[in-house]
Amino acid sequence: MYQVYNNYQTIMNTAENIEAKFEFNWEEIAFKLFISRELDDLEEYTLVKNKKVLYQFSARGHDLAQIILGQCIIGQRDAVSGYYRSRPLLLAMGLPPQQALEASMMKLGGFSDGRDIGVVFNNPKTDGACIFPMSGGVGAQYTPVSGWAQAAKYHTEVLKDNRWKDAIGLVLGGDGSVATNGFWSALTIATTQQLPQLFYIEDNGYGISVPSEFQTPGGNIATNLASFKGLTIISGDGTNPQQASELVAQAHSIVRYERKPVLLRLTVPRLNGHSAQDTQTYKTSQRITFEQQHDPLPKLKKFLLTHSILTEDKWHEIQKNAKSAVNKAFIKADNKPFANPDNVTKNVFCEYDGNGEMILQKQGGIHLSKPLFPPSSGEVIAQPGRINMVTAIRKTLDFELQHNKRMSVFGEDVGAKGGVHAVTLGLQEKYGKQRVFDTSLSEEGIIGRSLGMSLAGLLPVPEIQFRKYADPAEEQLNDIGSMRWRTNNRFAAPMVVRMAGGYFGCGDPWHSQTAEVKWVHAIGWQVAMPSNAEDAVGLLRYALRDNNPTIFFEHRRMLDDIWARREYPGDQYIIPFGKGKKITDGDRLTLVTWGGMVSRCHQAVLDSKLDVDLIDLRTIKPWDKEMVIESVKKTNRILIVHEDNLSAGFGAEIAAILAKEAFYYLDAPIERLTMPDIANPHEPGLMNAAVPTAGKILQAIKNLDQA
């Protein structure tokens, strides 16, 4: 394990003898290295002990190579995604020490105004390197950078914007992160698409306490990837100033000018514990001594003095100036106030000012480019002939693709095949493979890529074939939804994630799940669940033009169900979210449902011959609380029907609201009819024994009517 710090190896898989010339500012490198060390000292020895910093991750040992690398991120449209130990890189890119301290001290003026931990930085920027909102999840940083790199090609080749022609994406990760799904998914995306993405792996030999041999065979990801196609691999010592700068320049040159992906692995010592609470008892004294001997700070001094780049006096002057700068920054940061607790619930979704103007995020989404959408209205201008939901969704995607050049549709099998549900049939032929394209079989990659594309100003419309398949992408989905809130409206990643699910001619635990309540519970996601072709058009158009991320649920049974067929309502038709629809009017009881249960509820109401207020919510986040409460005030009884499981299903949320806000209008208990707490059974008889059917809904209506 010890000898890796002395290796100077370069594995070149796709290029040879690359001229890598880059003029590094060594005086600035020394200054930023001292700044980084002073910040670490201040936090570790003073601020953590005084509870002014609650999370602290020292970058000692990692700092020199990061600062060298940071000087290369100079493109007008570059992007960087780091992790909790990436502050030195940001300092090299211009992060002021005061703002770094405001973040770690949870003060107003930091990267989230105290909402997120201070080590997950961000910096919205459209005229220089954008620093992505960092994720607290290890490995989650990789695929969003792949999305940005793909967006750079899209902006250049499709939108003809030459400002993106030399843009690159840089992602940082430790040796532990190379075991994650995100790392491998991003490698697949970057190499198969030949994207300008630089993977920088800081190998300190440990993932907290677990040696790197447990993360990858032999503990060296560069060696293991030597035969990986389409990837240049460079490996060496990150503590040697001359060697590190040469390798960084080489990697940068290939990515920036050859437009090819590179993995740069540099070995570095982690001179402190994983965090301020880590005592490193799992390391031997010999290991700790060895790491201290490879501290890059004295190596930098020796290099600069030996090559007459700096004098001894200048070195000490730089150190003194850095200490002074950090002290001044601390005084200013310490005097800054904390954020107003009254505002902590703001910016979950896009908000509007007193004049009805959208309060835009600083980075992400198409609205910053001020798109001019075609006119829209809630008026139905029906075209003759009933169409199914598949056709309705396809026609809507087609129209919006035609009028929004920043929009792209992608996922597994959406291209030549047209999707496993045939929704995207013919769209690739019409709009080309850059706008409608297939992806590798990785939901993590599909959604993570979408995040990066949205931050680059595009509108991604990814498809997840079945609801259950979204689970591997849950970390990315959660990061996307919480992004606006946790950055306090600095960043947002609007997109429309189309996913299918629900009962069909049969069921099964993998393709027939709905579980929509998970995304209602998640921060920052809208959830639309149309029951018919007309509503699918209006809701999808709204989602595609909105400034928030949306889960658009396409129910398998309703995609070609006779009941769900409607006349196409026109290319202008739009339905704002949060507006339910009355299917039938009545005063005997209220029946609330959505998605694949609406048609069965409608049949049950017709069979009951009772005057029932049947409400199709259409969206469940937001949901039309006012319509439901007004109906209950009239009928005094309510039945909630949904396909998701009973326990903690969305019906429980509706029941809780009604118990508080409409309790005195109820003449009978609130009733729910749902799936039991089981997976969807495969055999049709078992499935219909579990899923609410028209017959079971009819019986529930009769029971409630007689209560």
Residues assigned a catalytic role = 443, 511
Task: Report the alpha-carbon distance of residue 658 to residue 624 in Å, rounded.
Answer: 12
Contacts of 340 (CB under 8 A, 6+ apart): none
* Contact in structure between 584 and 675 (CB atoms under 8 Å): no
**Segment (H or E) for 538:** helix 533-545
Task: Report the alpha-carbon distance of residue 486 to residue 577 in Å, rounded.
Answer: 23
> What are φ and ψ of residue 123, in 5° steps?
-155, 100
Q: Which of 421, 674, 680 is nearest to 559 (CA)?
A: 421
Cβ neighbourhood burial of 370 (10 Å; 0-12, 13-18, 19+): exposed
Write down the residue that tokens 């019409």 correspond to: 430
> What are φ and ψ of residue 338, in 5° steps?
-85, 165
Preceding amide of 684 cis, omega within 30? no
* Contact in structure between 246 and 20 (CB atoms under 8 Å): yes
CA atoms within 13 A on the CB side of 88: 27
Task: Report the alpha-carbon distance of residue 685 to residue 674 in Å, rounded.
Answer: 17
Tell me the three state secondary structure of residue 642: strand
What is the 8-class DSSP label of residue 48? Answer: T
Task: Report the alpha-carbon distance of residue 204 to residue 181 in Å, rounded.
Answer: 20
> What are φ and ψ of residue 295, in 5° steps?
-60, 125
* Contact in structure between 251 and 198 (CB atoms under 8 Å): yes
Phi/psi region, residue 102 (left: phi>0; alpha: psi -120 to 50; beta: rest), is: alpha
Q: Name the amino acid, one letter, at 416.
A: A
CA distances from 592 to 271, 522, 627 (A): 60, 22, 10
**Segment (H or E) for 33:** helix 26-42
Residue 362 token pair: 């600083």
**Segment (H or E) for 99:** helix 97-104
Task: Report the alpha-carbon distance of residue 160 to residue 266 in Å, rounded.
Answer: 36
> What are φ and ψ of residue 40, in 5° steps?
-60, -45
